[in-house]
Amino acid sequence: MMIKYSPQWNSGSTISYSFNGENITVNMDGITDTFDFTNVGDGSLQIREPQPPFGLLINTVLPVIPILSAKREDGTLWVELLNFIDDSATEEERFPVWQEV
């Protein structure tokens, strides 16, 4: 699985990720949810409704959905994840690149 953290400035919240196969467990401010991408076929996974009212198609108990995009291409899963940063963010956190997990 390839992931990329998408930075969003937020000095009041925390977010962390752990990975097990194609499962992503997210801890956001002490609330945990797991997203299972095992059965996602080739193509893009729709996260939001394409027409108003633009509801979410992925259910979560978290206050915001941390999965920004997901697609499987040639068998490889690519997932873009929300990442909270603040003024102390490193260059790597501010300008992320795709990485394999």
Annotated domain spans of the chain: 2-100
pLDDT tens digits, 16-73 = 999 999 999 999 999 999 999 998 888 877 776 555 555 556 778 998 889 998 999 9
CB 93 within 8 A of CB 18: no
Report the distance separating Cα 23 and Cα 11, nearest Å: 27
pLDDT at 91 over 70: yes
- Start-to-end CA distance of the chain, whole Å, equals 6
Tell me what pLDDT residue 45 has.
78
Question: Mean pLDDT throughout 92-100?
Answer: 96
pLDDT at 81 over 60: yes
Beta bridge partners of 33: 26
Tell me what pLDDT residue 93 has.
94
CB 37 within 8 A of CB 5: no
Beta bridge partners of 19: 24
Tell me what pLDDT residue 80 has.
95
Record the tokens describing residue 69, joined without a space: 């995009």
